[in-house]
Amino acid sequence: MSETNLAASPAVEPSAENQRVITYAQAGVEGVREEMRRNPDIFYIGQGIGPRGGNFQQSRGLWEEFGEARVRDTPIAERAMTGFGIGAALAGSHPIVDIVFLDFTLEAMGEIVQQASTIHYISNGRFKVPFMLRAAGGGVRSTGPHHSHTFWSFFAHIPGLKVAVPSTPYDVKGLIKTGLRDENPVIFIEHKGLYNTKGHVPEEEYLIPFGQARIFRAGTDVTVVAMGKMVDRALQAAEKLQEQGISAEVIDPRTLVPLDKATILNSLAKTGRLAIVDEAYATCGMAAELAAIAACEALDELDAPILRICALPAPHTFSPTVDAYLVPSVERIVQEIESMMGKTL
């Protein structure tokens, strides 16, 4: 396949005027469908992704169009399906392996970390692994400790893997199409709580380059970097902060690997303050990595300590009240940023 010119693709959502509105789930399906039509080497395997259309309707209609030869249900065997996908990629195909719940990628970490990420390197470039692992993370409706994890930092830690965490319907389509044109293994993590959200998505083809953050809201007092479902909560918090006279710039990295450091650092140079909002835990997570980047590369720009607003260090629960307490809320984001604004170095 020829190289794709991503530079010509829009990285910012176009004007909503005359744009259709579809859900996050529909946008993902549409992106996969377009790429499967374009590239006959792409096939899709996973648990319940065939006639049922996936737990979250993330593959709805694909089995009817492409048939069982290219869209096939698998047993609940994450390690086997991941190993099969990696082998198929090495043999010339471009598989999508849908683990469904991010939590159960743990069953296949040996294949992902030890094999998929290293083969291109240890083969001196002779073998490529065009492979997408698709999974849904995050807590929603009190799904408890086994179905609520957001450990995207596990994968961002490993050289050789690319990691995408889209937060809008527009982004999920543009990023999934880009990921399916990449010759490297891509970990594509969607948030369960976003599948039914709606947004403007163009009907014409577009791609979003990896490594290009999106500034959702301009601001002058504090840079707020948020991921996944936390982007919407950060935007809600920014509205409330504005009422207090605090101007927050909200940035979504969109991909964690590659990471658009320049956009974040340029914003920090303007605002002098950094708050990172992540549904994952703070310890050894993406919030810690972003804080380290700011401390190493923009220390002189900081006018206040870096703030990490993350899930509290406890397992998710089935209690709606407790679970809501653990995960960053709009109110907690507002309170912690208000407190930070009163601190100086």
Q: What would the pLDDT profile of 261-299 be if each residue is shown by its tens digit?
A: 999 999 999 999 999 999 999 999 999 999 999 999 999
Residue 94 a catalytic site member = no
Same structural domain for residues 117 and 249?
A: no
For residue 41, give every residue at least 6 positions away whose Cβ sits within 8 Å of its Cβ, in sequence order, or none: 92, 93, 94
Does the pLDDT value for residue 4 go beyond 50? no
> Domain check: are 80 and 113 in the same one?
yes
- 195 plus 234 within the same structural domain: no
Same domain, 126 and 272: no
Cβ contact 309:298 at 8 Å: no
Same domain, 186 and 219: no
Mutual angle of helices 330-341 and 230-243, in 10-degree steps: 50
Same domain, 165 and 285: no
Distances (CA, A) of 144 to 139, 147, 167: 8, 6, 22
239 C-beta neighbours (distance < 10 Å), count = 12
Look at residue 14 and tell me if it is in a domain.
no
Non-local CB neighbours of 176 within 8 Å, separated by 6+ positions: 28, 31, 32, 35, 132, 164, 166, 188
Which of the listed residues 151, 174, 200 is the one where a domain comes to its end? 200
Considering the domain boundaries, does residue 139 fall inside one? yes
Q: Are residues 219 and 154 in the same domain?
A: no
Q: What is the pLDDT of residue 143?
A: 77
Grade residue 109 by pLDDT with cuts at 50, 70 and 90.
Answer: very high
pLDDT 10s digits, 46-74: 999 999 998 889 999 999 999 999 999 99
Grade residue 342 by pLDDT with cuts at 50, 70 and 90: confident
Check whether 338 has a pLDDT greater than 60.
Answer: yes
Residue 54 CA to residue 225 CA, distance in Å, equals: 31
Query: Would you say 288 and 158 are in contact if contact means Cβ atoms under 8 Å apart?
Result: no
Range of the domain at 93: 20-200
- Which residues, at least 6 apart from 143, have a Cβ–Cβ distance to it below 8 Å? 192, 316, 318
Q: Is 263 in the same domain as 171?
A: no
Are residue 184 and residue 218 in the same domain, yes or no? Answer: no
Q: Exactly one of 94, 120, 147, 149 is catalytic; which is it?
A: 147
328 lies in a domain?
A: yes
- Cα separation, 137 vs 190, in Å, equals 6
Instruction: Answer yes or no: is 190 within a domain.
Output: yes
| Domain containing residue 72: CATH number | 3.40.50.970
Buried b (16+ CB within 10 A) or exposed e, 28-49: bbbbbbebbeeeeebbbbbbbb
Q: Are residues 175 and 282 in the same domain?
A: no
Q: What is the CATH number of the domain that holds 297?
A: 3.40.50.920
